[in-house]
Structure 1
């Protein structure tokens, strides 16, 4: 028996030795494995120096003049905030649900790891979690995992533990918490608590409530699955779990748990989408200007990046004004589009004119792509017509999914009227409102900064201004009779009135207020074409304008921005002011990098007296002329002047409004120059463009916040100006002159301008 016990003991001892050696071997292997990771054999691990110098990629923010955040430029949507801006309930919610012993461990929570290992391995509980501390999660945020296979997950876990230990030696607990909350992902390319608070609740981190903080923290376990916008019920359940965890850690009372869990999600979701949101055309123009400024700065040894440097861009835009203007634009353009389509009916060019549609198709990328494949025109059109698929068509009634071809799409979008609308404060050059088109997602082309269109009768005030400067008296009378200019190839500009106009003679004020074409050309003769072109340039229009008599009728193509600049001259005693988008730029720590101020031209383009006369003339346009519906239809009692404009064949409708504090321009037309309004009644500036100002101004008048823009009056004109304008508006030809004048026969003469 003794021998047997000895053999058994030896056998047991041998087994124990094998097990011991195995355990030692595994430990040695594991230690070597960890050492190999630490030495960088499985990929580089950042040093303490690198970890202490890491920087966030931060979104740059765009603000209105009234401090409303309207947009961001980013690769990763992130705005870091300081620890002091984290409310206590946010920190408590995060620690309660993600890392209860955060302030007790040194980067790795071994108790949690043992618990997770026991539940996962021995009890097969997949809900046990990963056991990662906030510091380890920060390590993962800073250095995201690249591969998902099992070997790499183990390597990544060990790497994160090593990085976590180093982070704990470099940063305080509060700094680690700050870095974590500024780097953690909330899905949809949104990083950091500040961006998440803005996106889901349209508020800053410092202002979020306990329930809101718990909702956002609850997302971190699964940013898609617990997204409150997509899965509100799941999100509520997860939020309530966070609140109970806060109670379990003695951060809130049982009564507070009950109260907070009764709250609805109450999201105020606001995605900072390039294509959506308020003022998208303006934001794009700001982006372009910022890129130019950054390029200049970086040439002088700076290192700014619009998408990663976290710049703060403070613009001139007035948020409330812009919002009202966009609402008015939608209201007006919806009605106008309906009237426009009805006016054409079944004979609309986008329906009947197949050649025109094919001509427009040639301008598309789809056509050019097939053309590069050496297909003939007929083959391309056939392909674009027959290739039908599901498409999203946008119109004023909303988006709708249809089965359509590319040609169907071209036909659909060709018919839409577009617009450009701009408002400037002429006293300081601030751009207050900028609407570059009807839908930025569909129409990227900006009708304010990019488009040049004939400006029609809105150019006439410049002609009249030049004439006054050349000594033409305001009470000079001009015959409305139509003239054929034989030295201009028989050019014969006409009026839209009846033949009886041939017997009428208009004062300059009456001719301008009623936009009489024949008189504008005769005023141009008195002023001289070269003097008019010089006046336009001195008023801020740099475009090369045609040196032709037709310039009197606005055949020159000018950008809205440049025409608006010219009109600021009337509010500034002859000096134009350069419109300004950006007021100042700061870095991510709010240090001012640059401030911008608009420049008033050094020389006046015309005298103070001429300016007063022109304002009085353009007041008549509003009070009794082509813009009188501002008074009759919209009931506006503001002190204002203005000018309507309609170009040849009703292609472009314009309106310019001038008040002591505002210069407002609106253009309406089609992007395809071949198509205009079907008739002058619907396409004239007073009908197509003026209502956007009338409706908008009506809204401003109802809000005391805008009194500084709506309540001001023009300075009273001098006695000499009042006297110069004191004449009958119209004189009728005498009996004998009428007797020998044939209104049906055009007078022939040479143009001497």
Structure 2
């Protein structure tokens, strides 16, 4: 017996030693001291607005840690009473519980102590989990694998007890375990199930959450309320048995129902989902370069966004789009809206669109290209939850039905940025992120139409033209080049008045004829060069139609360009993030907007003044901002509309806020048929008015109501054109002589 005892003891010691050192790679590696002292669990990174509001999280496991001082005593008592009643007495292994578990007498948690459970979660000891602790030759399913795993957990539990206090182990446990419903850690679980912080939990609520961890899917109060209540009551009884809860209170608590405020936190919930998605894209490069994990490192990301402006922007887009959608649906009632340039229905439009979707590609792969099988499932009807402006609704639809349904919805993009520092203050990429993932602020690019014209006028001012320079409203023809036919742009109304207008008036009225003449005089290449100077990075073709926004660009780019006018000629790239901190509050990176000198301060101010004419001059396309919305402040503006009313744009500027917006169909072939509904002044401008009304009404916002600050140096360019034309501010009669002669600065100038 002595030989057996000594031999068994020696064998046990040798076995434990072999597991500790992973002898001959039989058992799998063990964490080193550094890993043990710095155990890592996935923590959700949090993204904040500039005014300190939590916008959302990035995570694979939604876990936000809580300090021990913020853990309520009822949670700790419930946990110890249920999972490890002798937690304060043992040093990592409770031999009494092990013997009870072996004898089949234990009813809760087997023989595992809290320390062992922490080791299991932190170091992923179980076979099948992604961990280098399970790479031994003998690891795997079966009793031998289980014995090795248990041995490792015992060893790790002892080491944890040596390196951490009991309080630290309790904190680690409550911050790491899975509560189901994508809730990891007590902080997230309390919010998910009860919409509370841990400290606000009542004793029955604490018992409910502690009861979940044994089997999250089995004891979830959201999925199995009856079973969860029985489990909660058992936890309450254990608390009484352990002396933590008086029997009278236990009786009262077990009679109470479980009242949930259940909401599974999703990365797309909360404010600014399109913006947060773009921030994640932007930070991926930084994370890769610096060896950080955006979804697991518990980073704190501080953005430029203002939660108040973002709220107003989202409400404005929803309010405006809902009304426009009502009119759009009535406009095309009983008809198919996808039309070609001649107004005819595009044949096979839906079929062609479906072939571009991931669903179609997946079905083709699954059925080896068998189109009959693919078409069967594309036309098979299912119950679907779909978007509507009256709220989500459930409908019986096939994938083809769903595609046709969503193609009829108008889309929108909206962005607001402070041009003085590049801080993006609001960003709405579409109607609803849950149903429309495509972002129309930066990802989407469309023809900007007349919102591109200020770039032409900027080039003209820089080349010596005055806002008061007169030009008759007559046709300009670009000769045909390299097989391209001659091109004669027409005004929005389709003809020419023959009357003379100043450049200021021409921009205010968005006259194509005078813009075409400027492009002809300057040359398309010059216009392209100025667009690049103003931060337009999308490809631009140097063609005669360049001045009318023939080349696609984004709202993001246009906001940067217009911001140059307000910021004294300095282009400032819009930025989303100001700084990043690690989970301990140490600053990892600070971001500053890129800048460059693009224009002279005088040219920038002249353009700001000319853009104001759109809201003040008779015939200006944006006068409704003063006459309809009754804004008493200086506002610069420009509307934009593309061919067939496919794209409606609006750009608005104030001394410290530039806003850009676009509205249109997902496809260019889907649009209103008339300018009465589809032009920028009608379809896009009101969105700006709705937003600014909310912004101006909020006295807590730092909004500069103007006027626009003038340059420190006296202007060399005259802005008051009335002195040259007999005091008339509207039109210049063709036969009226000027007080001063006006020469064309490019007549004898080679540019």
Q: Contact 1:45 / 1:163 at 8 angstroms: preserved in 2?
A: no
Distance 2:254 2:319 in 1: 41
Counterpart check, 1:444 vs 2:433: no
**SS of 1:667's equivalent?**
strand
Q: Contact 1:539 / 1:574 at 8 angstroms: preserved in 2?
A: no
The counterpart of 1:342, out of the listed 330, 335, 342, is: 330
Distance 1:692 1:293 in 2: 35
Q: Contact 1:59 / 1:72 at 8 angstroms: preserved in 2?
A: yes
Q: Residues 361, 725 of structure 1: CA spacing in aligned structure 2 closer, same or farther, 3 A cutoff?
A: farther
Deviation (angstroms), 1:505: 2.5
Other-structure match for 1:749: none
Distance 1:644 1:526 in 2: 24
Counterpart check, 1:362 vs 2:355: yes
The counterpart of 2:600, out of the listed 580, 596, 606, is: 606
Which sections of structure 1, spanning at least 5 residues, go unmatched? 1-20, 298-302, 738-751
Other-structure match for 1:548: 543
Q: Residues 620, 244 of structure 1: CA spacing in aligned structure 2 closer, same or farther, 3 A cutoff?
A: farther
Counterpart check, 1:59 vs 2:44: yes
Pair member with larger Rg:
1
Query: Which residues in structure 2 correspond to 1:630-709 (within 5 Å)?
Result: 630-706=625-701, 708-709=702-703
Other-structure match for 1:13: none
Deviation (angstroms), 1:585: 1.5
Other-structure match for 2:294: 306
Q: Contact 1:507 / 1:728 at 8 angstroms: preserved in 2?
A: no
Q: Residues 393, 149 of structure 1: CA spacing in aligned structure 2 closer, same or farther, 3 A cutoff?
A: farther
**SS of 1:434's equivalent?**
strand
Other-structure match for 1:723: 720
Deviation (angstroms), 1:378: 8.2
Other-structure match for 1:743: none
Q: Deviations over 1:485-535 (max 9, x none)?
A: 455734222223386x51432222222222122222223345443332222
Q: Residues 129, 597 of structure 1: CA spacing in aligned structure 2 closer, same or farther, 3 A cutoff?
A: closer
Q: Over aligned residues, Cα RMSD in angstroms?
A: 4.1
Q: Residues 43, 553 of structure 1: CA spacing in aligned structure 2 closer, same or farther, 3 A cutoff?
A: same
Q: Residues 153, 498 of structure 1: CA spacing in aligned structure 2 closer, same or farther, 3 A cutoff?
A: closer
What is the aligned residue count?
Answer: 704
The counterpart of 2:278, out of the listed 282, 285, 294, is: 285
Q: Contact 2:367 / 2:374 at 8 angstroms: preserved in 1?
A: no
Deviation (angstroms), 1:592: 0.9
Other-structure match for 1:133: 113
The counterpart of 2:411, out of the listed 418, 428, 431, is: 418
Deviation (angstroms), 1:731: 2.7
Q: Contact 1:109 / 1:133 at 8 angstroms: preserved in 2?
A: yes
Counterpart check, 1:494 vs 2:494: no
Counterpart check, 1:561 vs 2:546: no
Counterpart check, 1:523 vs 2:518: yes
Normalising by structure 2, what TM-score? 0.81
Other-structure match for 2:135: none
Q: Deviations over 1:76-101 (max 9, x none)?
A: 33334443443445434433443333
More helix by share: 1
**SS of 1:324's equivalent?**
helix
Distance 1:520 1:390 in 2: 53
Q: Contact 2:499 / 2:734 at 8 angstroms: preserved in 1?
A: no
Deviation (angstroms), 1:729: 3.5
Between 468-477 and 655-664, the greater mean CA deviation after superposition: 468-477
Q: Contact 1:503 / 1:733 at 8 angstroms: preserved in 2?
A: no
Q: Deviations over 1:428-471 (max 9, x none)?
A: 11111122223334443322222221101111111112212222
**SS of 2:497's equivalent?**
helix
Distance 2:250 2:508 in 1: 70
Other-structure match for 1:329: 317
Deviation (angstroms), 1:632: 4.0
The counterpart of 1:46, out of the listed 23, 26, 30, is: 30
Which sections of structure 2, spanning at least 5 residues, go unmatched? 128-139, 340-344, 738-749
Deviation (angstroms), 1:291: 1.6
Distance 2:91 2:536 in 1: 67
Distance 1:688 1:357 in 2: 26
Q: Contact 2:534 / 2:560 at 8 angstroms: preserved in 1?
A: yes
Between 551-560 and 346-355, the greater mean CA deviation after superposition: 346-355
Deviation (angstroms), 1:401: 4.3
Distance 2:62 2:180 in 1: 10
Deviation (angstroms), 1:556: 2.2
Q: Residues 234, 277 of structure 1: CA spacing in aligned structure 2 closer, same or farther, 3 A cutoff?
A: farther
Distance 2:600 2:349 in 1: 46
Q: Contact 1:465 / 1:606 at 8 angstroms: preserved in 2?
A: no
Q: Residues 211, 681 of structure 1: CA spacing in aligned structure 2 closer, same or farther, 3 A cutoff?
A: farther
Between 332-341 and 477-486, the greater mean CA deviation after superposition: 477-486
The counterpart of 1:433, out of the listed 426, 431, 438, is: 426
Other-structure match for 1:457: 450
Between 225-234 and 315-324, the greater mean CA deviation after superposition: 225-234
**SS of 2:639's equivalent?**
strand
Distance 1:31 1:320 in 2: 70
Q: Residues 227, 526 of structure 1: CA spacing in aligned structure 2 closer, same or farther, 3 A cutoff?
A: same
Q: Deviations over 1:167-198 (max 9, x none)?
A: 32332212221221222111234322233345
Other-structure match for 2:342: none
Other-structure match for 2:164: 171
Q: Contact 1:449 / 1:561 at 8 angstroms: preserved in 2?
A: yes
Other-structure match for 1:180: 173
Between 439-448 and 174-183, the greater mean CA deviation after superposition: 439-448
Q: Deviations over 1:558-577 (max 9, x none)?
A: 12211111111111111110
Other-structure match for 2:131: none
Deviation (angstroms), 1:716: 5.5
Q: Contact 1:81 / 1:182 at 8 angstroms: preserved in 2?
A: yes
Counterpart check, 1:573 vs 2:568: yes
**SS of 1:665's equivalent?**
strand
Q: Residues 210, 455 of structure 1: CA spacing in aligned structure 2 closer, same or farther, 3 A cutoff?
A: farther
Normalising by structure 1, what TM-score? 0.81
Distance 1:170 1:396 in 2: 57
Counterpart check, 1:98 vs 2:75: no
Between 581-590 and 344-353, the greater mean CA deviation after superposition: 344-353
Q: Contact 1:431 / 1:579 at 8 angstroms: preserved in 2?
A: yes
